[in-house]
Amino acid sequence: MDIEDTDKKASDRLDDFLRRKRPEQAPFAPIISQADSLENVVNGSQTIDLFQDSWKQTDFDVTEYLKNQEGSVVEFAGPTLSGYEFIDASKMNDTVLISNISPGLPEYDPHTGELIQIKGSVDFQADATQMPLADESCKAILVSCLDKSFRQKTFQEAFRILKPGGLLVWQGGMSQDFSLAIEQGFEMKQFTHKYGDTKDEHSWNVIFAKT
């Protein structure tokens, strides 16, 4: 297949995507009410209070970990244009490979559901629940504000792809995500707890590790 044919197929795929409306289930906003959330999570031998401002496992340093491990760093459902709290990509030795099922990050009209624009671009198009990556091929996976309907399958896929000890950087999480991750075989390494517009609205930025 020549380059012209490949470019035409990519253009057709983008045109098709731009004609779509947002799915009936709107993308997840990473804010939940305290009434719907867990307050404590058992992490190894510790019981952790999720509503403290922050927590980190003793001696854990995400920057040092990434420097000393081999493997790829991949973002699911990116690009996250605002960046990640725990990861400064500009200071990493690794290139972060960005993926999304769309050609970039879709922005929808909140009233009509029409797709307004695609922000940024990706290195490859893929579904976060079915990634074209080999088992235990990545040292870190980045995910931000993923639609809640895909979260359990995404934890499963991340666990498959990560090397033992590999990190899942999970931004904009719900408290229920802690249980999903731990049940899958992850352990917590670090988190910060964020408030929304009121004291009853919460989200979490978390680093999990594959055990």
Q: Please give the tally of structural domains in the chain.
A: 1
Q: Where are the alpha helices (DSSP H) in the chain?
A: 3-18, 62-68, 151-161, 175-184
Give the model confidence (pLDDT) of 133-180 as tens digits.
999 999 999 999 888 888 999 999 999 999 999 999 999 999 889 999
With a cut of 50, which residues of the chain have pLDDT below it? Answer: 1-10, 17, 20-36
**0.85 exceeded by pTM:** no
pLDDT given for residue 180 in this prediction: 94
Whole-angstrom Cα distance, residue 90 to residue 189? 22
Domain containing 191 equals 3-25+32-210
pLDDT given for residue 40 in this prediction: 85
Tell me which DSSP letter residue 4 carries: H
Burial of 54 (0-12, 13-18, 19+ CB in 10 A): exposed
pLDDT given for residue 33 in this prediction: 35
**Which residues lie closer than 8 Å to 195 by C-beta, 6 or more apart?**
201, 202
Cα 5 to Cα 20, 123, 151: the distances in Å are: 23, 19, 35
Quick check: 105 and 86 in contact, CB under 8 A? no
Whole-angstrom Cα distance, residue 90 to residue 162? 22
pLDDT given for residue 16 in this prediction: 55
Quick check: 175 and 202 in contact, CB under 8 A? yes
> CATH no. for residue 79?
3.40.50
pLDDT given for residue 12 in this prediction: 56
pLDDT given for residue 3 in this prediction: 37
